[in-house]
Chains A and B, each alone.
Chain A
Amino acid sequence: MASEHKADEAEDGQPLAYKLALKQREIGIAEFFSRNRHLLGFDNKRKALLTVVKECVDNSLDACEEARILPDVTVETIEMSPERYRVIVEDNGPGIVKSKIPNIFAKLLYGSKFHSLKQARGQQGMGVSASVLYGQLTTGRPAKIISRISKGYPAESVELHIDTKKNKPEVVSAGTAEWDKEHGTRVEIDIEATYLRGMQSPDEYLKETAIINPHANITYTNPKAEQVIYSRVSDKLPVEPKEIKPHPYGVELGILCSMLADSPARTLQAFLTSEFCRVGASAAKEICERAALLPSTKPASISRQQAEKITEAIKNTRLIAPPTDCISPLGAGMIEKGLRKEVNAEFYCSISRSPSVYRGYPFVIEAGLAYGGALPADRTATLLRFANRVPLLYQQGACAVTESVTHTNWKAYGLQQSNRSLPVGHLVILVHIASVWVPFTSEAKEAIAHYPKIIKEVKLALQDCGRKLSMYVRKKRRIRDELKKRGFIGTYIPHIGLALKQIIGLSDSQEERVNEELKAMLEQKRGVLEDIEFRPDKNVDFEEDLALPMEGSEGEEAEARETKDRERDGEDG
């Protein structure tokens, strides 16, 4: 080391590290994301529009449901100039207290949801402030928030910027506004974006959202000034998900350390029983014993090494799985109804599996299939993914759900499938994962991480649906054969009458009677046949407005164009 010391010295005799240290400083989280906007779902202009709409609407729905209010959400996207759009999202939620508005909308990683384990659309406290940040970076215009918390209170109006270095809100202007809503929040953000219809557009996203959230009223005006109203179908709010404490199996060392430091508990045993679910006194003692720590140890005094022992101890202790009433799944009936609205098929089935647990987080997988009818038979199946009632429109290939679908043997259910890919045939597959913590692969929340437990559950759900499907396919074949046989009756009976006429000389009327008697006799024996014939008007739930775009070409072309845009953007940058 001594010999190398000289090389590290600068000319003035000071170690080089001092000079380097001048450049070493904190990276603001907002600054980081302004560079890595793709991590938040802003990789291209088309997707940016969707992401901003999605983040605002997700927040609105979460807020309404938390306050047990039936959501009325209005979404407006206005083309201000080419590639510049204004997104306005308005809800009838509980509103936000004035002092909290700046942090909620203009501070990344600020929110109520991250620290509570409860099923919700948002998780990180990142989405809407990232949208504000994106708007600020691309248009320079501040985000405008109006919120009223109750009748007697004024509607607060705040214009916000984000200080990207410090990740702190900058209030550009604040005041009150005229607003006709008794309570709720209105967000207005200007962004650089492009608008195209198709599978990955805000239109599609809102439509899917409406289908999967039948208790919400959604009014959408697209940039072409066309308005669509998705009316509320059900007056029942989904069951309110309960908040749970973390389950010890899901806790990692770092989180455990900070929990230990922050806990008001006086003893380790009390810490374990009060901060976690499914840990009783005896389980807590067992963990302490395995970690070679006294149950009376002060949580704050526990060292990193000791904490590591605790995590080991937790792994080796048998604990009951976390409670599952914290999840509010859609239910099999809802899944099927959603499919019926969107797809005019001849067969539907669905399943809502019982809860399972990955890494200490409970989750529920629900799946549904729509088969046949008006669906094109020669295309690969359409996959609709949802997580906590939010449609996932991007990154299908990277998603654990997709892996589960492609690794399921669809040939066993009478569909075509080439090795490890989506099945081919007139089929729409819907998968919904509901969890207190959905493991996304990135903050943009587009794809679900590949936890084996999740993949296994999805596969089990799909296999269940697949079996129902193959039963239907078999039944269909049986009925077709039966119809053919019934056809035989009409075809061959006259030959028997004719032969009898030739052999024993029946009269024409006798021959006629023989034919009628035989026909009646045979058809009576066959019984009543179930009507499985597909007719476009048979599915009464189907709504043209909600139909899944089946052409798909616009979206694909658009994506190709977007990719080119991105490349050009890259060169510009």
Chain B
Amino acid sequence: MGKGAHDKADSNAIARIREVATGIYESISKRKQPRLKIPLRALSNVKYDEKEGYFELQNKNKTRTLTASTVKTFAQTMRMMALSKELVEQSDIATKREIYYVSKNWGDARFDDQPESDNTMDDIEAMLRINREQIGFIPEEKGGDVAGKLIVIDKDSDTGKEIKIDCTQMGSGAYSIPISVEHLRFETSAKFVLAIETAGMFQRLVKHNYWKTANCILISMGGVPTRACRRFIRRLNEELKIAVYGFVDGDFYGWTNIYRTLKVGSGNAAHINRYFCVPDARLFGITAQDIIDYKLPTHPLKEVDVKRGKDALKNDPFIQRYPEWQRAIQLMLKLGKRAEQQALAQHGLNYVISNYLPDKLKNPKTWLP
């Protein structure tokens, strides 16, 4: 998406907002109760699109009819749409938190807490079927950290001059992925991207210049990857044809929340998954088989872990597609144990660099899809 694409998206966003508002105005004029049709944002309303490789939104909607009980949220949704239109028109942006504070000017219609306003924002985003960045709302969270064989080409916001950021020159620090990544360009000779769950593991690999020996790009996701982080990785994968490997904790959260979101997107924001997924990604570990093969020290599964695992087997369309994943989850449930990335330190602090990652690279059979 270049600048032209942006303008087009802008007018598209405004058109969508006007369309919804006009519909409401028309039903009021006809003395019919106005209603908002909002796609259901849940795993139960997504399908795993195998060909495209991401979660696609299905047609289940929740209808918010204007009644005395819904009048407050209805009014808030309308006012937020008006605000968004204003933002797009003035090419301004606002974070979730800023929106929450803006609403404090709305008198009785103000939001009482931020989760309330975040939720309304997600509803609008889903209703208009465009991502929130297009309607001027930007996430608070930062994108993630990058180190290794990558040059990012950005622009100076004052002069418009190109800036080349060499991610090998970050020392013991890292390059931080910005909130919007569409304008970035890349240069790289790396063979693969290693997407890492924890900052701790990322730090270890950076410290020992693992990217140099393995000729790769290291990215710390810091938990569930943000939209920007996912989009950043997606672009590296799609535009530069670099392989992407996930490296997360060996537990259901690492697998079904962090890795699965990276690969196919989330149920909550399914309307934007097509841009924010990395269908080519594969998982290095930690797998259930790793726990056995590497004799890793473990923690017993808690009740919530077990529930999460069983839930994934039952409800996650992605897991349901891959027998490998089902076997992995069943094996972990059978073991009743989970292992963190850091558990590899059992065999020496740098065992992960000297043995684990090279082993993994050599044996694609040990990966998970």
A residues near B (Cβ < 8 Å) are 485-486, 488-489, 491-493, 495-496, 498-500, 502-504, 506, 514, 517-518, 521-522, 525-526
Contacts and interface: CB of A to CB of B under 8 A. Distances in A.
B68 interface: yes
B31 A491 contact: no
Contacts of A502: 82, 85-86
A461 B28 CA distance: 53
Contact of B78 (A486, A495, A517): A495
Nearest to A503: B21
Contact of B81 (A499, A506, A518, A521): A499
B66 A518 contact: yes
B68 A495 contact: no
A521 B70 CA distance: 14
Q: Which of A486, A492, A518 has the most CB of B within 10 A?
A: A492
B361 interface: no
A503 to B, nearest CB: 4
A493 B22 contact: no
Chain B contact-residue range equals: 20 to 34
Given A496-B74, A499-B21, A504-B21, A522 B66 contact: yes
A502 B31 CA distance: 21
Given A499-B82, A502-B86, A522 B71 contact: yes
Nearest to B30: A517
A232 to B, nearest CB: 51
A500 B36 CA distance: 14
B71 A500 contact: no
B77 to A, nearest CB: 9
A491 B74 CA distance: 12
Contacts of B86: 502
Interface string B29-55: 101010000000000000000000000
Interface in B69-88: 69, 71-72, 74-76, 78-79, 81-82, 85-86
Nearest to A491: B108
Given A486-B68, A500-B21, A503-B17, A495 B31 contact: no
Interface string B78-105: 1101100110000000000000000000
Contact of A492 (B17, B31, B74, B81): B74
B222 to A, nearest CB: 37
Nearest to A504: B21
A503 B71 contact: no
B33 A521 contact: yes
Contacts of B17: 503
A482 to B, nearest CB: 8
Contacts of A518: 28, 66
B67 interface: yes
9 contacts: A492-B71, A495-B79, A495-B107, A502-B82, A502-B86, A503-B85, A504-B25, A521-B33, A522-B68
B79 A525 contact: no
A278 B255 CA distance: 84
Contact of A495 (B29, B67, B106): B106
Contacts, number: 79
Contacts of B75: 492-493, 495-496, 499
B109 interface: yes
B18 interface: yes
A431 to B, nearest CB: 43
B9 interface: no
Given A489-B68, A489-B71, A495-B109, 14 more contacts: A485-B68, A488-B68, A495-B75, A495-B76, A499-B79, A499-B82, A500-B21, A500-B25, A502-B82, A503-B82, A504-B18, A504-B21, A522-B68, A525-B67
Contacts of B67: 522, 525
B24 interface: yes
Contacts of B85: 502-503
A392 B89 CA distance: 81
- Main secondary structure on A side of the interface with B: helix
A493 B71 contact: yes
A496 B68 contact: no
A502 B89 CA distance: 12
B31 A521 contact: yes
Contacts of B79: 495, 498-499
Contact of B28 (A495, A498, A503, A517): A517
Given A492-B108, A521-B33, A514 B72 contact: no
A488 B33 contact: no
Given A496-B78, A498-B79, A518-B28, A525 B68 contact: yes
Nearest to A517: B28
A403 B199 CA distance: 71
**Ranked 7 nearest A-B pairs via Cβ:** A499-B78, A495-B75, A502-B82, A503-B21, A492-B75, A485-B68, A495-B109
A486 B71 CA distance: 10
Given A499-B79, A503-B81, A492 B21 contact: no
A511 to B, nearest CB: 10
A521 B24 CA distance: 14
B20 to A, nearest CB: 8
A489 B71 CA distance: 7
B306 to A, nearest CB: 40
Contacts of A493: 71, 75
A214 B31 CA distance: 57
Given A492-B109, A499-B82, A517 B31 contact: yes
A491 B107 CA distance: 9
B24 A500 contact: yes
B117 to A, nearest CB: 14
A486 B68 CA distance: 6
A508 to B, nearest CB: 15
Contacts of A517: 28-29, 31
A3 B182 CA distance: 128
Contacts of A499: 21, 75, 78-79, 81-82
A194 to B, nearest CB: 62
Contacts of B22: 504
B85 to A, nearest CB: 6
Contacts of A485: 68-69
A517 B75 CA distance: 15
A485 B67 CA distance: 9
A522 B66 CA distance: 8
A107 B274 CA distance: 107
Interface in B316-338: none
A486 B67 CA distance: 10
Nearest to A524: B31
A361 to B, nearest CB: 57
Nearest to A495: B75
Q: Which of A500, A503, A504 has the most CB of B within 10 A?
A: A503
A93 B22 CA distance: 85
Contacts of A522: 66-68, 71
Nearest to A515: B28
A541 B288 CA distance: 80
Nearest to B22: A504
Contacts of A526: 68
